[in-house]
Copies of this chain bind each other. A is one copy, B any other.
Amino acid sequence: MSQVYNFCAGPAMLPTAVMERAQAEMRNWNALQVSVMEVSHRSKEYIAMAEQAEQDLRDLLAIPDNYKVLFCQGGGRGQFAAVPLNLFGDKLEADYIITGQWAKSAAEEGKKHGKINQIDIRETAEDGSVSLTPSTKWPLNPDAAYVHYCPNETIEGIEISDIPDTGDVPLVADMSSTILSRSIDVSKFGVIYAGAQKNIGPSGLALVIVREDLLGRARQAIPSILDYQVLANSDSMYNTPPTYSWYLAGLVFQWLKEQGGIAEFAKRNEAKANLLYDYIDGSDFYQNQVDKQYRSWMNVPFQLVDESLNEAFLAESAEAGLLTLKGHRIVGGMRASIYNAMPIEGVEALVSFMQIFASKHQA
């Protein structure tokens, strides 16, 4: 196989070492002579693997003991429903910080279950550049059941790296496209959730990290598969979990630890992002319109100043083994998603291609 780099926003590339191991032990896992996806989730071998995966995640993120880790089905959108159904309790309102498409979608689903205050913090200048209102100026409701925000907007490439202070109101974060990319202080959050298919593993799995005092206040009519208390009581095995996705997530966690943990990946991710943004900023052929302090390390959208060259860019980049660079249909342009599994060599190859493409097509 020739070298390719896959910049898909999700389902995203997985670490090469993880995929090699998964392929090698696909039909004979743990010397059982069957696949890990063919063993009972209640077998001692599977449970040992599942527990190790949770422990590795706890180690990586330094998750305090008073937080439960849940392995769920239903993706991030499942959590858009699970959060209000679990957390409204006897409160009537919740605050949703609007930073982009994913935050808006979460708020829409939340409306089914209570009054949602949407706080749009985007500030767009006349030249089209985008910034955000700092969290100290958000008009938060002290009576809210919770404050929901999306620290990294996958589509727009906007990231909030400091953690908002919401006082006694639980802070809920959709970290689907930023979890494990840098160190975070989990103790500042009520709930962190993330669809797996960006920085954790394959699709079909969602992780929830929930502070224990928030369990047990779910609505009566909550589907049991979304009830944090039910999942916590059963170690995420209330029903058959997505066993293969859990296994692959575990391999990714192992790999992250072997490579040096989250501090190491934060360095790598910052270096990868800087390489790409610096090139874009120094070019008059490409542009990124996000305020530098809110630029995402994980998803780098960019536009060709001459958009008539978009098709040629996509065709030639694919030809060069640089896959899935098309931006989300809502915003157009290009997007390079550079999660943990993307090596710096992939970003170097992209920048190199962008330089060649620009010099070939520059007027």
Q: C-beta contact mask, A28-57 vs B, less than 8 Å → 1, else 0? A: 100011110111110100000000000000
Could you tell me if A27 and B20 are in contact, using CB atoms closer than 8 angstroms? Answer: yes
The segment out of A202-210, A282-290, A298-306 that lies at the interface is: A202-210
The segment out of A5-13, A128-136, A167-175, A258-266 that lies at the interface is: A5-13
A191 within 8 A of partner (CB): no
Task: Give every chain B residue within 8 A of A19 (Cβ-Cβ).
Answer: 26-27, 35
A343 within 8 A of partner (CB): no
CA distance A28 to B3 in the complex (A): 12
Which of B14, B28, B32 is the one whose CB lies under 8 Å from A37?
Answer: B14
The segment out of A90-98, A216-224, A271-279 that lies at the interface is: A216-224
Task: Give every chain B residue within 8 A of A1 (Cβ-Cβ).
Answer: 27-28, 33
Task: Give every chain B residue within 8 A of A77 (Cβ-Cβ).
Answer: 224-225, 238-239
Could you tell me if B22 and A26 are in contact, using CB atoms closer than 8 angstroms? Answer: yes
The segment out of A115-123, A178-186, A242-250 that lies at the interface is: A242-250
Could you tell me if B225 and A78 are in contact, using CB atoms closer than 8 angstroms? Answer: yes
> How many residues of A are counted as interface, with CB atoms below 8 angstroms from the partner's CB atoms?
65
Could you tell me if A112 and B220 are in contact, using CB atoms closer than 8 angstroms? Answer: yes
Could you tell me if A203 and B2 are in contact, using CB atoms closer than 8 angstroms? Answer: no
A76 within 8 A of partner (CB): yes
Could you tell me if B202 and A81 are in contact, using CB atoms closer than 8 angstroms? Answer: no
Q: C-beta contact mask, A231-257 vs B, less than 8 Å → 1, else 0? A: 000000011111111000000000000
For residue A121, give the distance in angstroms from its CB to the closest CB of chain B: 25
Task: Give every chain B residue within 8 A of A203 (Cβ-Cβ).
Answer: 37, 41, 240-244
Could you tell me if A85 and B223 are in contact, using CB atoms closer than 8 angstroms? Answer: yes
A and B contact pairs by CB, cutoff 8 A, 23 listed: A1-B27, A10-B40, A10-B240, A11-B243, A13-B34, A13-B38, A19-B26, A19-B27, A23-B23, A33-B321, A37-B203, A41-B203, A75-B240, A76-B239, A81-B223, A82-B223, A109-B224, A195-B240, A202-B242, A203-B240, A203-B243, A204-B243, A242-B242
For the A-B complex with A14-B35, A80-B223, A112-B223 known, give 20 more contacts whose Cβ atoms are closer than 8 Å: A1-B27, A2-B33, A6-B34, A11-B39, A11-B240, A22-B26, A37-B203, A73-B204, A74-B74, A74-B78, A75-B225, A77-B224, A78-B239, A109-B224, A202-B244, A204-B204, A204-B244, A223-B226, A244-B244, A244-B245
